[in-house]
Structure 1
Amino acid sequence: MSSPTRSPLQRLRRSGALVSVLAILASFVVGGLLIAFTDRDTKEAAGYFFARPTDMLSAAWDAVAGAYAAMFRGAVFNYDAGTFLGMIHPLTETLTAATPLLTAALGVAIAFRAGLFNIGAQGQLILGAILSTWIGFTLELAWPLHLLLVVLGALLGGALWGGLVGWLKARTGAHEVILTIMLNYVALNLLGYLLNNALQREGSTNPVSPVVNPSAQYPLLLGPEFRLHLGFLVAVAATAFAWWLMNRSTLGFEIKAVGANRAAARTAGIDTFKVTVLAMVIAGALAGLSGAAQVNGTEKFLSESIAASIGFDAITVALLGRSRPIGVFFAALLFGAFRAGGVTMQIATGTPIDIVLVVQSLIVLFIAAPPLVRAMFGLNERRGKKNKNPKGAAGAPATVGGDQ
């Protein structure tokens, strides 16, 4: 009688984490092909491919290896630097770039687990940045208290913007995608208005705010040579909070229940109205925390480009991390590395930085199609195997494999 228990190898083959890793690998392979096709030396060698095919293959390998090596030097470890500080500087830049991505993606992930497609992290980040900026340059307080108020202001701004979506969704049934898209535009235009009026730096014609007071800034963790600041540790703490919320709290259980089946959760006695609002409040608060990281940690002032594309990249990070806090943490590090290493790759090798955006997009494509990834790497298991037990013993599986 065959045992229905799967072996560790079978569980690995069917795991979502393996699909994510293979999706990243496939994206880098396709990105490498694009690098080779856009490389000048490779295209020249292709002109006489049938005479000396190894020339084109060698040029393609050099282009791809050189581009990815430059990305590694710019994002993880610069082995060409003359000092230890120079060697680890790229890693600190990766952590700095990953900090706002991490908290925003955690907010998106929590909303996903509640069955809500939150694409409003951009607007929630902006509202958090506005409040943290205003508190940062208008108040004169001692460092720990001032920074604490800044963080609370960022949390409050994002929570209000996200909570509004949750309330409208729960009360009226309005679709959260439409709500968050519209509120993103409202937040962006509100930011532009404030930077040209109430928050504009005195004596400046540019739409920028005053520099926040030193007591409102995240302290640098490794000294003035690096941009890495305390906000990264705050983001790590937010990851721990999100893990506890989703895996150890009653509210987290309710969020997952509502996300799995809202009608069944309501029948079981769960207040779906409360859960929907609270999920979006928490999601918005985490995204607002990204605004404080940008203003009070990295940039030190508010500008129209403060959010960049962080709120939208957070959706990709949450998808790659499969909406789980630990997975989101490592996905944010990867995308932080893309941000930090892409510039070095372009400067060192001339490879267009758009290749990085293509790789990021391919990751989303492959994550959204697990059967495609499994087929590419030969992980699909055959279905409908015949039962070789002549007596048809109970417990023998009728099929093997299948996606969960």
Structure 2
Amino acid sequence: MFDRLDGILERFEELLQELNEPNVTENQARFRRLMKEQADLCPVVDAYKKYKEARQTAEDSLAMLEEEKDEEMRDMLKEELGQARREIGELEQELKILLLPKDPNDDKNVIVEIRAGAGGDEAALFAAELYRMYVHYAEGRRWKVETMNVNESGIGGMKEVVFMITGQGAFSRLKYESGVHRVQRVPETESGGRIHTSTATVAIMPEAEEVDVQIDMNDCKFDVFRASGNGGQCVNTTDSAVRLTHIPTGIVISCQDEKSQLKNKDKALKVLRAKLYELECSKKQSEESEARRSQIGTGDRSEKIRTYNFPQGRVTEHRIKLTLYKIDAVMDGDLDEILDSLIAADQAAKLMKMQEEGA
């Protein structure tokens, strides 16, 4: 590990020298690449420098302790040594996590697809609430939300909604949200006061660039139609909505949020590119050996991941057996405690796998 850290430190110094060259900004592509590499290495370098300082402090305290006769000074040195050793242990763990293989999609924007599942109108209402939950979470992090397509139900619910979240590290935070979300509550339409269980599925897909996925336009069939549902001027009066069918996979995408047919076509292609990229990523993951796979689910849409129980005011994250009694805050976008716990569990699982492989 320390040979690797020394190599990273050496590379970081090289990057600083290259970025200090007078003509570095003349080649903007190279300049951006160097800046990104430096930003990626910065957390590792900072932690490693603190680790080396703590090691030096521990060595100095130990050397002085061997020579010091004054009891009061010895107590101070023992305290300093203990503190340095605690820092060494914490920083070693931090460095192990920082050196874990990085998901290449972590810095990407995400396309989110929410579909109402079992439960009829109640499932559609729940899907709409999940949509608002993610929008509030994104706004809290100053991320941009752009709706791609909405299929609304008559009572304020959503049978399906597709939207894009643009922001630094969006996929790294939200990738754990894919799966089946379950709600337990008394529906407004239920006169007998019985608790119903309904579901909605969430799919989190990294935005794919053209370099990630090449789409042959000969494989795409476009149909145009008049948009339905709520819309501003022109949206419901022109054939601006687009239905894209990808013939080889059978994937069908509708986009009707924009007034312009061209913009809807562009959005539909973005969603298709993300879906094809997700299919490719899933195929690669399934080919990996079980020993290298994370224990925390991040993509199976059939996996029941979370239950929102309104009568008891609790949210239960089944994958890590976490229960929080703050359902109102969670539904209002307060997701960080859940996401931080999922990330920590995922990192711990990966560290365990690495140690097992190393052994």
Structure with bigger helix share is 1
Q: TM-score range by the shorter chain?
A: under 0.3
Structure with bigger strand share is 2
User: Comparing both chains, which one has the higher relative contact order based on Cα–Cα distances under 8 Å and sequence gaps of 6 or more?
Assistant: 1
TM-score by length of 1: 0.26
TM-score by length of 2: 0.28
